[in-house]
Amino acid sequence: MCGRFFIAQAPEIFRAFYGYPEVPNFPPRYNVAPTQPVPVVLSEAGRRQFRLVRWGLWPSWVKDPKAFPLVINARVETLGEKPTFRGALRHRRCVFLADGFYEWRREGTGKSATKTPFMIRRADNAPMALAGVWENWLCADGSEVDTAAIVTTGANGTMAAVHDRMPAILAPEQVEHWLDSRGVEPDAAVRLCRPCPDDWLTLDPVSPRVNNARIDEPDLIVPLASPHPGNPERGRPPAEQPRSSDEDAQGALF
């Protein structure tokens, strides 16, 4: 599951990386949480566009969003099958603007369980292209809300030290194919969403202050001086596999 991410680099870097014509001036955000407005890049009529959307997808057929579960992730394994995502996969694909994301390693059960936060970012410090799908939801009063969800896949070797799932991270050359809903069929698009190579990522423990979504400060992305999980050279998981998050429960709803 991907439930938090951060956007730390300057807007000009994202604009140059993704090539959209708009010149947005958005501030850095170190603890982006579900239901908040988030920046994405999408393609309409063959042109890339920058857009702010709500993180938490509402399919167009939803009548009352208050009665609809919070859908922040979309499993790539069932992306083309679930009614919630099927139309968006075919017609409305996007990329979330991000520099990295957070994940929590669960250990133990019940009241003795602990959750340690980790920061995951690209080793080359390039923007992290998180594959997403989006929908335009139309309210009965005529107002519109653009909403989106991050596509997830199985963990690669680095991420497996912390969690069994991860966002689908696209290579720069894959971004165009993912966004091209007119020329790239859903099956081909899905094949782009695989666990990225292990050496793309760095993984560091960070302050538990990130647990509080109301805290949005630069020190959240400062690594803590503590042992790296698993094998620091290969990112192999420790003997006890990380426990899954509640994404399984979310996925069972759709």
Q: Which of 103, 135, 196, 247 is catalytic?
A: 103
- Phi and psi dihedrals of 173, rounded to 5? -75, -10
Catalytic: 2? yes
Catalytic residues, which ones?
A: 2, 103
